[in-house]
Structure 1
């Protein structure tokens, strides 16, 4: 059994106004991996490629150890739960219970008790037509639906979109419990910083169709810091991992580094006093990476 729930190798999707890839991405089995990036970065397209809903122009995709191009891939897909960001309007005229009766036929592991438990937990009435549900209610119903066949892999595209704070907390608890057996995997895309911090073990940055890196969450937040210090800008530019320098007032420089431990040792060696240091938040890190990518594209 592979240690990767999902593997994308040299995957490309070319469109007239957008190119995705080439993507090299390995999603570790048994963990929660979050894809973070601005709108239009290719996150939703990546999910659709993984599910074989889009065909890549190049590259190979492995899902739970099997090629999605395999003739037997329907068995693999039966182990996957997918929550898209946007739901089809074709379902709007039917009751949720009608959709459930249709969907459950495709999953041998369908668990009606789990389904009813989740409906009660999320306070959802599946006797309502899907088109009459609020966005948050529809999201909760669809989440209950994808969890009720005990999938080995969950693909969640903006899972909390439309949820109120109480429903959001419930969703976080449900997903934590889903991961408790230790052999399940979540790949999610989210704009909610707190959601990523609470759920993710690994973070993937995706910008302009490119994967810029995969980071272990705690290591990421321990590495990206802003140092406030007195000194010459030219010298500060040689700091290990330096990603940006700006004036902070009073002759102070604010230097961003992605290698905080090495940068701190470098400051000590250079006899530079750090007056203050600050760990960067996820949105701050993303902003730096976006600016670096824009600079790369302009050059």
Structure 2
């Protein structure tokens, strides 16, 4: 039986200007899962519910096998690391050393050697006031703090925000090493396509407070393609019958540009219909997101 680090079942949250859910989502244990979607789609709100920083109006949440109905137990908190998108402004007057001491007190697994090693690798001086650090320096410091107690589950909200390219590459390497043991889980949000491609094993697409789909990364990028197909009898209606079709455009003459989420089946269909596959082009993550959003809008119109 597959184990999950996080399970959301029928989770809903209603706010005056935003509705989240219902969310049914399972995050596999031992892998890196990335949530991607437009700004305001509910990524950070979902993190808040998983951390018991906010309460759902309906549904249930389990984190590392523990239900959150009665709040998040202290022992469970110790197994989780969290890097929020924005640092807490009320900590600006603290020195890095003071925040580290606070975490060392609360987290049994705090490893001072690992913490110092992370600061050295990331080139961070923690003897500064947090509010005086540059955005990138503060981000690197908060990242080191989130990892220093060797959490079983790591939640990263836009982890590379404010990092320069060199620091970004270093962060990627650190996270890969963190996952080497095989028993740790990362759930992250990111709008950086290369970051998702470099890190994620699974990708969750969100929009307007709902999950549009969950995909294994390699399968996703191996399935979503734009095919340029030609044929004397080909028209928009016929092109719409392609397996996995989620977008048809006339490309001139007898050629059509058809986007599909099932490339292998689509190419078989092309051959069976006696058509010509002129070329094929793999979709990038943002293009897949756009296609899913279009499908979602069209399906909502039909309801």
TM-score (norm 1): 0.97
Which moves more between the two structures, 91-100 or 147-156? 91-100
Shift of 1:162: 0.2
| Aligned match of 2:275 | 272
| Aligned match of 2:180 | 180
| Aligned match of 2:92 | 92
Shift of 1:94: 1.3
Shift of 1:148: 0.4
Alpha-carbon contact 2:212-2:296 (below 8 Å) kept = no
| Aligned match of 2:163 | 163
- What per-residue deviation string (whole Å, max 9, x for no partner) do you get for residues 195-230 of structure 1? 000000000000100001110000001111111012
C-alpha distance in 1 between matches for 2:8 and 2:182? 23
Q: CA RMSD in A?
A: 1.3
Matched, 1:261 2:292: no
| Aligned match of 1:211 | 211
Shift of 1:71: 6.3
Alpha-carbon contact 1:2-1:65 (below 8 Å) kept = no
Alpha-carbon contact 1:122-1:167 (below 8 Å) kept = yes
C-alpha distance in 1 between matches for 2:168 and 2:34? 17
Shift of 1:294: 2.9
| Aligned match of 1:282 | 285
* Secondary structure of the structure 2 residue equivalent to 1:177: helix
| Aligned match of 1:27 | 27
- What per-residue deviation string (whole Å, max 9, x for no partner) do you get for residues 259-290 of structure 1? 11111111111111110011111110001112
Matched, 1:242 2:245: yes
| Aligned match of 1:291 | 294
* Secondary structure of the structure 2 residue equivalent to 1:59: strand
TM-score (norm 2): 0.96
Unaligned runs of 5+ residues in structure 1 are none
